[in-house]
Structure 1
Amino acid sequence: MEQTIGDRFSKLIEALRTNKSAFAKSIGKSHTMVGTIIEGKNKPGFDVIEAIVTAYPNVNTDWLIKGEGEMLKQSANSDPRNDGYLMQYLQSLEQRVQEQSAMIRTLTQQLGKPEVVLAYAASCAFFLRFGYNFGYNLLTGEVK
């Protein structure tokens, strides 16, 4: 009998020495969605496959999608949770935190200026009171 993609998901989760919930969280998906794939009720979309190979870069995509080749790009005995992956993942998280921190600093600086706060409050008030088009026209001078 041919192995289904749900079977391969199940084997991958086992190889990771984890469970459906932890696996789902590691790829940013719900455990229910992962469960329906394993049960054969649904097939994974591109976003799910992409999330898996991003989170676990040494997983062989040919094996995951078509069942061809070995589970892992390296030797069959490798641990898909290797340190290289963890370092790469930590670096990507650090970069995201730095980008978000910079955005927060910028917004804090802008909102800290009284004229920006007043303009923002006034535009919100107009949008709420008179509707989007009127508020937009008032702020931009354009007729929409």
Structure 2
Amino acid sequence: MKEGVLQRIIIICQQRSDSETQFAKMIGANQKTINQQLRGERSLSFDTILKTLSAFEDISSEWLLRGEGDMIKPQHEQIVEPQPALISTAGDTPEASILYHIYNDTINRMKELVEENTKLKMQVTELSEGSEELAKTLKSFHDSNKELADENQQLRIEVMIKDSQLKEKEKSVLDYKELLKKAI
């Protein structure tokens, strides 16, 4: 079956283009890949089949895939309704339509995830920069707090010394008062 599809793709290539290179450009595929597939060096991919059907809308998918009917669709089947999806469905089977919808939904979801990932990376960068700034601020507060604790300790020692000196002076004053009372 694959060889039959390949032979029909080769027929389309020969009838609709001047070369394999031009055919690859017409269907929007990688030239090297198409060359390898058409020469049988590489298996024919589903993607190449779909791109061929999308590029040549007048080609019958029944003919291409099954070898049944005429190569060219009847005129009334060639009218294609525009699809709101990223790519239009190729083929007349519900399976192909479902596959395209799944594909388009996946592409859209991937785009959303890439955008979300980009936003999250920016937020992480901002948070990193913010956390570095916060760490600097906290270190500064810690250093200031340590200095204040040291200064507070020094002041307590000074207060204790002054308090002790004051008590000694008060005692001296009381002793002096006692002496004065006895002297008077």
TM bucket normalised to smaller:
0.3 to 0.5
TM-score (norm 1): 0.47
Greater relative CO (CA pairs within 8 A, separation 6+): 1
Bigger proportion of residues as helix: 2
- Determine which structure has more spread, i.e. the larger CA radius of gyration: 2
TM-score (norm 2): 0.38
